[in-house]
Amino acid sequence: KKRNPEAPIGAADSHSGDTLRMHLRSLLQVDSSRVLIVRKINRLGFASPQILREHFSWYGTVENVLVAHSRVKSGGGQAGIVSRLRPSGLGFVVMSKGEEALKILAEGPEQQVSGTIIRVQKFERRMSESPAGLEELEAKEQEQEPCSESRAMGG
C-alpha cells in the first residue's frame, strides 16, 4: 500500500483514539510474518510511532505503526477523578515484507532506538480470533503495565 500523498506525514501513525483491541483486529488481516511487537516503548514518549517508523525504515518499508496510548484515571480527594494520557508501552510495527521483519529480529530481542532500549518480538497469533481472545490479551497487558512502571520508578 502506498501512503496517501495528501495525508500529512505521520498521519498513518496517529491512531489517537484507537485501542489495543482495534489494533489487534486490524492485524487479523495482515500476514503475521510481517508484524513485530515492540515493548517498553513508553520510554520514547508520545512521539513513539514516528520514532519507531523512522528507526525501522532503515530495514525496509514500514507499512504501519500501531500504538495505543492509555488513559489513566487517578485521584479522588478535592480534585475529583482526573484522567491523564500515558504513553503506551506496547506497539506493533508492520513491515512490507516478512524478510524485513526477520532482519530486524536478527538484531536481537533488545534494541536501542533513539537512545532507549526497547524489546522487539515476533508477532504470533496464539488465541482464537474471537473478541474474547482479544479481551484476554488486553487483560494481560493491563496487568503487566503497572509492574513495568514500578520497576522503572524503583531504579
pLDDT score of 79: 67
Please say if the pLDDT value at position 80 is more than 70.
yes
The cell for 98 is 516478512
Q: How do residues 111-136 score in pLDDT, each as one tens digit?
A: 999 999 999 999 987 655 555 555 55
Q: What is the pLDDT of residue 73?
A: 81
Q: 9-57: per-residue pLDDT in tens?
A: 333 444 456 888 899 899 998 999 999 999 999 999 999 999 999 999 9
Per-residue confidence (pLDDT) for residue 76, from 0 to 100: 65
pTM: 0.69
Half-sphere exposure of 102 (CA within 13 A, CB side): 4
Question: Is 50 exceeded by the pLDDT of residue 149?
Answer: no
143: pLDDT strictly greater than 80: no
- Concatenated DSSP letters of 10-62: THHHH-TT--HHHHHHHHTTS-GGGEEEEESGGGGGGGHHHHHHHHHGGGS-E
